[in-house]
A and B are shown apart, each in its own frame.
Chain A
Amino acid sequence: MRSVWAVFGLLAWVGGGLIVPPPVRAHEAASLEEEFVKGVFSPAFTPPAAGSYELPAVKRVPGVILKDLTGRSASTRQVTAGKVAVVSFIYTACPERLGCPLASLALQDLQAKLKEEGLGRHAILLSISFDPERDTPAQLAKYARIYGADPKLWRFMTASSERVLDHALEGYGQDRAPVYDERGRFTGRYRHVLKVFLLDPAGYIRNVYSAGFLVPDLVLNDIKTILGEGAPREVVER
């Protein structure tokens, strides 16, 4: 298992290879942060074995037409069809170290595990931006490179408009609220609960992970659980 310090090293690498100095008088917060990161990459429990539990469908998500990293339009359903998909909502300017950046590190870890286990053809990671204005395909491509996304396994998409994004957010049940300063000006930041959605090949949400439970080993077992079910479930609108 990866040690917490290795993860901090990874964060520092993402930050350009510099070591992030711990702020003074912040030992308590730093210790909590350490515990949090440790909980993701070295959980204090063994995830239950794949196939030993059920993941009942929460709901089916709609396909949404978004832009990929080349700027071409594609339906999210086309991207995820026939595979177990891990769909996250992120934005590249997210200032919360334990929000989007940590989620992307967890997905990076999951990507490596999927490759190790030879599951690359059966699963796909898809990160959708919260910020259609600033997260252009070119900007997302940089973010993808920094996190080492393998284009065959980890895709990034952005919406052509706020309206399209709202449709996607509503379909998944993902909140997002712009944050304003005291003078009512948009700060460029969004308040959102970190959620990562696990979809089966038919497009049903089978699990949702948020901060504290986005554990790559657990997500991997969930993916195997769905793959072990055999034929994709019949599409039934509920």
Chain B
Amino acid sequence: MHSGDMRARLLRVLLAGILVMMGGLVGSAAADETCQSPFLPKVTGQEDYIYVWTLGIKGVADGNDSMVTVDANPKSASYGKIIHRASVPGRHEAHHAGFTDDRRFLWAGGLDTSQIFIFDVGSNPAQPRLVKKISTFVKDTGGLVGPHTFYALPGRMLISALSNAQDSSGRTGLAEYSNDGKFIRTIWMPKEAPYGYDVRVNVNLNRMLTSSFSGKKNYMRPFGDLVKDAEAMKQFGSSVIVWDFHARKPLQILSVPGAPLELRWALLPNHHYAFTSTALTGKLVLIHQQADGTWAAKNIADIGDTIPVDISIAPDDSKVYVNTFMDGTLKVYDVSNPFEGKLIETVKLGEMANMVSSSWDGTRIYATNSLLSQWDKPGDYWLKAYAWEGGKLVPKFTTDFNPAGRAHIMNFGSKVFGPKAAAPASPAVRVSAYAAPR
């Protein structure tokens, strides 16, 4: 082939690339399943599966924690049903889980035993398979306890912990492992703000945020006891830390009283802000970059004394979804002006609503209802699916989790990420490319 032919061919592929990209984006704003790492390829269309990291209940099935697959494709005969359950040995306080950067593996942690379970979801996306267990998290990290958020970095997994082995308080840090499961390093939180919870990166700004919860002696204690213990109730975090992501160095400690939990970066490129909610003080909080480059926190809505737990952001940054645990409600806030959250929709979900996840295109919302085994009230466990229709959230299905356990975090799966990728092609590259410029 002559050099001229090669250039002509390059032009063709560049143009074809543009067409593929445009085709994928028309009719939808670019975003992700809105809570995932920007380093991940995203499920852009209809998700096929929802992987639910589920707490085992003694006497229910084998009693173990498990990765449960729910069929989420409306065209499927088993839509809304549990189609697979991959157990791990024992109960570990199953909590959060996250994909590796290539979406081939799903890491899931136990807050009580600090065990980490790695599931292969690439070989057969319908049936996650436990392929590796890391039992040395506490020893590897020099004393971190309670692996919480699993956040993909290129070639690595960034894990935020909740506690430590020395005194089970909230003093904690971040750990990094290679995708192969080898420990790389521990980064302890600064002394002035020792607590940890969530961790999220904005690659556009080279900034990382961490939030703050409480130690094992609180989160593994029965909720009724805990709230009566005034001293224990003081042992909750009250800050969000802004980091230089690349250097992994704290830059600024923002005062955000009342245990700020999940962090959600705005997704559009020029939106230099994030949201969080405070569990104990019931505020929706904006974390925003100021004109001088420094960061500030501002309360933008009063959610109420109902323990806001998980939050999710709409792909165009127009809305934030908040699940509140005490009254089992999904509240939708209009944050198109990020400095002022307006409540625009309320949906009664049911007891103990906890996690909430939005689809890539922003049209489907899923919720589950277990928070912590010692904090849940005995009841009914479920996953509920809703869709925006005519400006309202309409129920689509409820998956009964009582035969499986307590449903916690949800991650979306797709056949596209299986061993035989289907056309239209290369969503991984295309989407990771678009997901990055946030």
- Which A residues form the contact surface with B (CB < 8 A)? 11, 14-18, 20, 23, 25-26, 28-29, 32-33, 35-36, 38-39, 43-45, 47-48, 52-54, 56-59, 93-99, 101-102, 139, 142-143, 145-146, 173, 175, 177-182, 187, 189-195, 197, 205, 208-213, 218, 238
Residues of B within 8 A of A57 (CB): 184
- Residue from A11, A54, A98, A191 within 8 A of B421 (CB atoms): A191
Docked-complex contact A101 and B422, CB < 8 angstroms: no
B3 interface hit (Cβ, 8 Å): yes
Interface residues in B3-42 (C-beta closer than 8 Å to A): 3-4, 6-8, 10-11, 13-22, 25-26, 29-30, 38-39, 41
Q: Chain B nearest CB: distance from A180 CB in Å? A: 6
Residues of A within 8 A of B185 (CB): 54, 56
Residues of A within 8 A of B178 (CB): 58-59, 173
Pick 19 A–B contacts, CB within 8 A, sort by A.
Answer: A15-B11, A33-B21, A35-B437, A39-B437, A43-B206, A53-B246, A96-B430, A101-B17, A187-B425, A191-B421, A191-B429, A193-B102, A193-B429, A194-B432, A195-B101, A205-B155, A208-B153, A208-B154, A212-B435
B376 interface hit (Cβ, 8 Å): no
Docked-complex contact B10 and A39, CB < 8 angstroms: no
Residues of A within 8 A of B247 (CB): 48, 52-53
Docked-complex contact B155 and A208, CB < 8 angstroms: yes
Interface residues in B130-172 (C-beta closer than 8 Å to A): 153-156
- Residue from A32, A177, A190 within 8 A of B437 (CB atoms): A32
Assess A212 versus B425: contact at CB under 8 Å? Given A56-B185, A238-B182. no
Docked-complex contact A47 and B437, CB < 8 angstroms: no
B205 interface hit (Cβ, 8 Å): yes
- Shortest 5 CB-CB contacts between residues of A and residues of B: A212-B436, A208-B155, A15-B11, A16-B7, A97-B17
Residues of B within 8 A of A187 (CB): 423, 425
Assess A211 versus B101: contact at CB under 8 Å? Given A16-B8, A93-B13. no
Docked-complex contact B7 and A36, CB < 8 angstroms: no
Residues of A within 8 A of B102 (CB): 175, 193
Interface size grouping (class) on chain B? 35 or more
Q: Tell me the complex Cα distance, A238–B180, Å.
A: 11
B104 interface hit (Cβ, 8 Å): yes
Docked-complex contact A15 and B14, CB < 8 angstroms: yes
Docked-complex contact A95 and B437, CB < 8 angstroms: no
Q: Tell me the complex Cα distance, A174–B26, Å.
A: 30
Task: Report which residue of A23, A32, A177, A210 has the largest number of chain B beta carbons within 10 angstroms of its beta carbon.
Answer: A210
Assess A36 versus B434: contact at CB under 8 Å? Given A44-B205, A101-B10. yes
Docked-complex contact B3 and A145, CB < 8 angstroms: yes
B233 interface hit (Cβ, 8 Å): no
- Residue from B22, B426, B437 within 8 A of A96 (CB atoms): B426
Docked-complex contact B155 and A58, CB < 8 angstroms: yes
Q: Tell me the complex Cα distance, A129–B102, Å.
A: 18
B249 interface hit (Cβ, 8 Å): yes
Docked-complex contact A179 and B421, CB < 8 angstroms: yes
Assess A194 versus B6: contact at CB under 8 Å? Given A15-B14, A29-B22, A97-B21. no
B419 interface hit (Cβ, 8 Å): yes
Q: Chain B nearest CB: distance from A223 CB in Å? A: 14
Docked-complex contact B426 and A179, CB < 8 angstroms: yes
Q: Tell me the complex Cα distance, A59–B429, Å.
A: 24
Write the B274-304 contact mask toward A (1 if CB under 8 angstroms, else 0).
Answer: 0000000000000000000000000000000
B269 interface hit (Cβ, 8 Å): yes
Assess A192 versus B420: contact at CB under 8 Å? Given A93-B13, A208-B155. no
Residues of A within 8 A of B14 (CB): 11, 14-15, 20, 97, 101
Docked-complex contact A15 and B429, CB < 8 angstroms: no
Docked-complex contact B246 and A98, CB < 8 angstroms: no
Q: Chain A nearest CB: distance from B362 CB in Å? A: 14
Assess A29 versus B155: contact at CB under 8 Å? Given A98-B430, A178-B421, A192-B428. no
- Residue from B18, B269, B433 within 8 A of A99 (CB atoms): B433
Docked-complex contact A95 and B154, CB < 8 angstroms: no
Docked-complex contact A28 and B29, CB < 8 angstroms: yes
Docked-complex contact B26 and A212, CB < 8 angstroms: no
Q: Tell me the complex Cα distance, A38–B270, Å.
A: 12
Q: Tell me the complex Cα distance, A195–B13, Å.
A: 20
Write the B225-245 contact mask toward A (1 if CB under 8 angstroms, else 0).
Answer: 000000000000000000010
